């Protein structure tokens, strides 16, 4: 009986052993192929070296940017399709691997991006509680160009730049960068202060064009605009009460800077004074004004149209 009691006790201890009794058989792990090289310690948000450099860098995005995470299955896959620069793809352990997860892992592996499996609590922490659906993509700090570099880009047309005067919504910034690339601009110029920077949201909205079009930061936007004017570029600001509408924009075929004001206040006084002209977009009565990114697209499309027409003459 004593031996039998010890036997039963042993069975009870075995049944209460910590850890899962029934595993996945390695099926989930097998589904994540080609993990790639492990990122450097400074590039892994969970590592102490990453936290040290984040504190050291501070929070000024355009001065000292830090890595960011794009969260969510659709956003991650969209960014990978657009070939946005990335350093790691985080995948939650035990994730239900649907087509988006499989495509995300495949795209990351094909580009040599590290695929790292982490627990859900860890992924929650890394994404600051965002709805990640088990996927997050780490993008590196954005490298801004110098304002002088914008005119070094050859497009076969007179220089065309887009300058933003206080656009603070990163989605608007990303959309403007995308439109600037689509309509042949040489680059985008941002002010040092009171402006959105290239964050994960801007990366995503730009559909990857932020990696292909130079984006520069001016310490003083008004001074930089005057410097560009001295180099022969015409400065045109978007304004609801402009001195002309886009039908009269004959300056479109000249070397040009299109200046976009903030979402709420429009052009600041000093920037407006630096403009050679202000242009408005004719709209039907009773319709609210267009937001910054849409208005920019309309004007850039008109500039591109006039340049095409001139090229045919």
Angle 115-121-126 (CA atoms, 0-180°, nearest 5)? 60
**246: closest CA among 184, 186, 290, 215?**
290
Residue 256 bridge partners (DSSP): 160, 234
d(CA 56, CA 58): 6
Token pair recorded at residue 156: 């076969």
pLDDT of the chain along its 313 residues, tens only? Answer: 444 544 444 444 444 444 554 555 555 554 555 555 666 665 665 565 554 443 333 333 455 456 788 888 988 998 898 888 899 999 999 888 899 999 999 999 999 999 999 999 999 999 888 889 999 999 888 889 999 999 987 777 899 999 999 898 999 999 999 999 999 999 999 998 888 888 878 887 887 788 889 999 999 999 999 999 999 999 999 988 888 999 999 999 999 999 999 877 889 999 999 999 999 998 888 777 788 999 999 999 999 999 999 877 7
Please say whether the beta carbons of 106 and 89 come within 8 A.
Answer: no
Starting at the earlier edge strand, list the strands of the sheet with 114-118. 68-71, 135-139, 88-92, 114-118
């Amino acid at each position: 009986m004593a031996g039998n009691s010890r036997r039963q006790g042993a069975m009870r201890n075995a049944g209460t052993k910590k850890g899962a009794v029934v595993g996945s058989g390695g099926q989930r792990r097998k589904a994540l192929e080609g993990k790639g090289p492990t990122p450097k310690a400074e590039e892994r948000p969970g590592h102490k070296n990453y936290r040290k450099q984040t504190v050291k860098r501070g929070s000024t995005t355009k001065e000292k940017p830090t890595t960011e995470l794009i969260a969510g299955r659709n956003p991650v896959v969209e960014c990978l399709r657009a070939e946005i620069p990335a350093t790691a793809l985080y995948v939650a352990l035990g994730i239900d691997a649907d087509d988006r997860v499989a495509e995300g892992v495949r795209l990351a592996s094909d580009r040599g991006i590290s695929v790292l499996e982490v627990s859900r609590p860890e992924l929650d922490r890394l994404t600051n509680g965002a709805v990640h659906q088990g996927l997050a993509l780490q993008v590196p700090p954005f490298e801004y160009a110098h304002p002088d570099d914008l005119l070094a880009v050859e497009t076969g047309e007179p220089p065309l730049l887009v300058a933003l005067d206080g656009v603070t919504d990163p989605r608007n910034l990303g959309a403007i960068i995308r439109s600037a690339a689509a309509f042949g601009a040489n680059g985008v110029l941002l002010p040092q202060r009171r402006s959105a920077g290239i964050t994960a949201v801007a990366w995503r909205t730009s559909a990857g064009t932020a990696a292909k079009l130079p984006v520069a930061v001016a310490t003083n936007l008004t001074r930089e605009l005057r410097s560009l004017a001295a180099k022969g570029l015409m400065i045109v600001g978007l304004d609801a009460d402009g001195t002309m509408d886009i039908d009269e924009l004959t300056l479109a075929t000249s070397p040009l800077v299109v200046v976009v004001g903030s979402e709420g206040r429009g052009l600041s006084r000093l920037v407006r004074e630096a403009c050679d002209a202000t242009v408005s977009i004719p709209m039907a009565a009773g319709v609210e004004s267009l937001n910054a990114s849409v208005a920019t697209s309309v004007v850039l499309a008109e500039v591109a149209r006039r340049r095409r027409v001139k090229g045919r003459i």
